Amino acid sequence: GTHRAGNAVIQAAKEARQVMLEVAAEELEVNASDLDTDGQGNIQVKGAPQKSISIFDVALSAHFKRGRSISGRGMFLIPRSYPEKETGAMKPSTCYAHACTVAEVDVDD
């Protein structure tokens, strides 16, 4: 569901952002930890916004100069829940696309 996929997307975006910062750091000759995004399509040195590079130029540099891909991966897992022996109850979990529901019903004549 959205909970799992959304958290996986957040992780992937953080990884891709880190690659962008690393490439920008190489271009600007600073440490990646000294950089931040400005929300306007640029990566800049913290405290020195005049020293910046556009995300477009970072992407070009990554691909053509440095042979890198700006991408990220993400996966979000929750701890597995096992049924309680006496009640069969389990911890709530996100919805699965593949599911099965079984009910045992006794009917009196």
What's the CATH code of the domain at 56?
3.30.365.10
Residue 23 confidence (pLDDT): 98
Q: How many domains does the chain have?
A: 1
Exposed / middle / buried, residue 104 (Cβ in 10 Å: 0-12, 13-18, 19+): exposed
Percent helix, strand and coil across the chain, each rounded to 5?
40, 15, 50
User: Please, what are the averages of pLDDT over each run of 10 residues along the chain (109 residues)?
Assistant: 79 95 98 96 96 98 96 85 84 59 74
Residue 96 confidence (pLDDT): 55
Residue 82 confidence (pLDDT): 83
Give the structural domain span for 5. Answer: 1-109
